[in-house]
Amino acid sequence: MFKKKVWKKVWNQVTGNKGILLLFLGLVCPTLSIQSGPGAHETGIEGGEKTEEISIPKPDKKDSLLFFAYRYIGTPYKYAGTSPKGFDCSGFVFYVFKNHGVEIPRTSRDMGRLGREVPRDSAKKGDVILFLGTNASNKTIGHAGIVCGADADDLQFIHSSSNRKSGGVILSCMKDSPYYQKRFVKIVRFEM
């Protein structure tokens, strides 16, 4: 149930409630001819069929980045991992951004130093969310993820968790996780 709720929030954030067909078509083809009713203009298709050309907007770079990241849900956690064979948290974030032509630091600590900090209530999809690591006594940044949804009372993010039971690349909600609420440090943005 938790995952279903997270996916619904993420899907609504990413698609803007437009639906899977339009989103898929926007990724596959920038324009699409569809059969239409009266008033459609001729397009020169054999047989004189009447069609209307509609334009489906292509996803922006942040949508594209997130769809790429979602492909890796379920990939196992691997210490110092930076490939689809296994990722650590910052290795996953680094890999996703690198595959979209955005150079960011490899470690979560350096992401925190070099990214432009934004207020939590101004977080947007594609921002990097940073936390303290698993050692509660160490007060330095030690975990990173990518914001995939932000609304008034919650942040959803995708990350590679080292949790032994449910680790690897997963989706999480701040609202539903006291663990991440306590360890939250900041949100940073890298220009795309």
The first and second tokens of residue 129, run together, are 């969310």
Q: Is the dihedral of CA 125, 128, 133, 139 positive or negative?
A: negative
pLDDT range class, residue 8, cuts 50, 70, 90: low
User: Which is catalytic among the residues 29, 89, 100, 148?
Assistant: 89
User: Which is catalytic among the residues 29, 41, 100, 159?
Assistant: 159
Out of 21-30, 45-54, 133-142, which region has the weakest mean confidence (pLDDT)? 21-30
pLDDT range class, residue 44, cuts 50, 70, 90: very low
pLDDT range class, residue 119, cuts 50, 70, 90: very high
Tens digit of each residue's pLDDT (9 = 90 or more) over 85-103: 999 999 999 999 999 999 9
Domains and CATH numbers, the chain: 16-55 (no CATH), 61-189 (3.90.1720.10)
Taking alpha carbons only, the member of 155, 159, 148, 149 closest to residue 90 is 159
Q: How many CA atoms lie within 13 A of 173 on its CB side?
A: 16
Taking alpha carbons only, the member of 133, 142, 131 closest to residue 186 is 131
User: Which is catalytic among the residues 29, 41, 100, 143?
Assistant: 143
Whether 159 is catalytic:
yes
pLDDT range class, residue 38, cuts 50, 70, 90: very low
Whether 143 is catalytic:
yes
Q: Is the pTM of this model over 0.85?
A: no
Whether 89 is catalytic:
yes
Cβ contact 69:146 at 8 Å: yes
The first and second tokens of residue 10, run together, are 């993420």
Burial of 15 (0-12, 13-18, 19+ CB in 10 A): middle
